[in-house]
Structure 1
Amino acid sequence: MSDVGVGAVVEGPVLRVPAHRVSPRAIGFWTVSALLGDAVLVAGALVAWLVVPGAPAWVGLLVLLLAVAAVAHVVLMPRIRFRVHRWEVTDTAVHTREGWIGRETRIAPISRVQTVDSRQGALMRMFGLASITVTTASAAGPITVDCLDTDTAAHVVAQLTAITAATEGDAT
């Protein structure tokens, strides 16, 4: 039975923030991505409101509110994400923090890493960005580090490959 009661403070090491930020170009990438998605959503809602005969005026108000929310999303989300998103790779673990409304922190021991992949879509290529995905033996799924400079992503993939090759264990 534990000696720790309800409301007790457990002392121990404090989890620090991962050391590295994503590329500053991530702000532009996330802005354009949000703008494209939100524009389609608002345009679709506007067309639906205008095409439906006899649609009540309150539907127009909802479309307007959707447009205002979309503008706020496009303006705020990329900057908040940039401040929050962090990553770090050490000889012992991969550590990430992400989110813009909620926050998620993930740490995967190097001994659990199974594969390391990089991804670069067309829009990411335009911004000179790439993402890496670290697949682990975890039910929580892979760890992704989005929006690294292309060269940084290639370096991190090579670094993780070298570290995991030198690490004993079977990643299960």
Structure 2
Amino acid sequence: MTSYWLVKTEPDECSIDDFASQADKPIVWEGVRNYQARNYLRQMSEGDEVFIYHSSCKHIGVAGIARVVKAAYPDPAQFDPRSSYHDPKSSADKPRWDAVDLVFVRRFERLIPLDEIKANPELLELPLVKKGNRLSVMPVSQSEWRTMLRSAS
């Protein structure tokens, strides 16, 4: 059974355009350094669908969809001392952080802005709109997924 997710990214780091430009080539979704978000990554399965949400930028909102093509595995960046995601407390035998591989599915014709998402009564339970939720990875229910897809049309 397919599950649905939303991941936040800063577009200057990784945007829906980056996914589109690599079309069939997976992007390693690395650098998640929050335990709850990491736990959500660990729940992702191959075939799950993921909204790509642009944050910390001029135009904030859901930009498109990616698909999980490789379920959670140890985030390689945690072991690389040159990486800004390096974690010296993590080891190969006891990794603390995970990554997943995502591929491009589609870019929305228009960005679904956060204000529009917040104003939609069918999305009131979406973790993204809950006060104080700063997670970079979060679940999306099937009904929320469908509502968002209708908004993208």
TM, length-normalised to structure 1: 0.21
* Bigger Rg, which one: 1
Q: Per residue, is there more strand in 1 or in 2?
A: 2
Q: Per residue, is there more helix in 1 or in 2?
A: 1
